């Protein structure tokens, strides 16, 4: 899957195309944008939140757990020289303590979590 960007309508707005889907990214007004969409770090945090919720939900369904909802909140920003993502997960449903512990373990195995926790190489070329 390729992700592409093209210039949007506002000062710093960009349209992000992911297959048949389109998102908007922008910068906050304080940085010269129009705040017409999330800034890139928010999209990164959203990827972790969405992946966590989807991964946990799929696992719970496969195992027949009584999980009604997964609510994920990500606080993020620079902290002591590193970028920090703080994930808060609420499991909603009739779950035992063991099931909750297992779902937390599964959350830590979501693909985006594993990607962000591992080594990432970015190769850039200008065309």
pLDDT tens digits, 27-71: 999 999 999 999 999 999 999 999 999 999 999 999 999 999 999
The verdict on 5 and 50 lying in the same domain is no
Tell me if 24 sits within 8 A of 16, measured CB to CB.
yes
What was the pLDDT predicted at 6?
Answer: 97
The verdict on 113 and 74 lying in the same domain is yes
The verdict on 69 and 91 lying in the same domain is yes
pLDDT tens digits for range 71-100: 999 999 999 999 999 999 999 999 999 999
The β-bridge partners of 70 are 91
- Residue 1's domain comprises 1-38
3: in domain: yes
126: in domain: no
Structural domain count, the chain: 2
Q: Band the pLDDT of 1: cuts 50, 70, 90.
A: confident
pLDDT tens digits for range 4-18: 999 999 899 999 999
67: in domain: yes
The verdict on 34 and 72 lying in the same domain is no
Tell me if 52 sits within 8 A of 83, measured CB to CB.
no
């Amino acid at each position: 899957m390729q992700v592409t960007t093209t210039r949007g309508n506002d000062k710093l707005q960009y349209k992000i195309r992911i297959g048949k889907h389109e998102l908007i990214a922008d910068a906050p007004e304080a940085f010269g944008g129009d705040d017409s969409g999330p800034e890139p770090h928010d999209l990164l945090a959203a990827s972790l939140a969405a992946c966590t919720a989807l991964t946990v939900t799929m696992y719970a369904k496969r195992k027949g757990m009584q999980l009604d909802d997964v609510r994920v909140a990500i606080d993020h920003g620079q902290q002591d020289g590193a970028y920090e993502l703080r994930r808060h997960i609420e499991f909603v449903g009739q779950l035992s303590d063991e099931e909750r512990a297992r779902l937390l373990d599964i959350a830590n195995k979501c693909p985006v979590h594993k990607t962000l926790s591992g080594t990432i190489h970015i190769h850039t070329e200008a065309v």
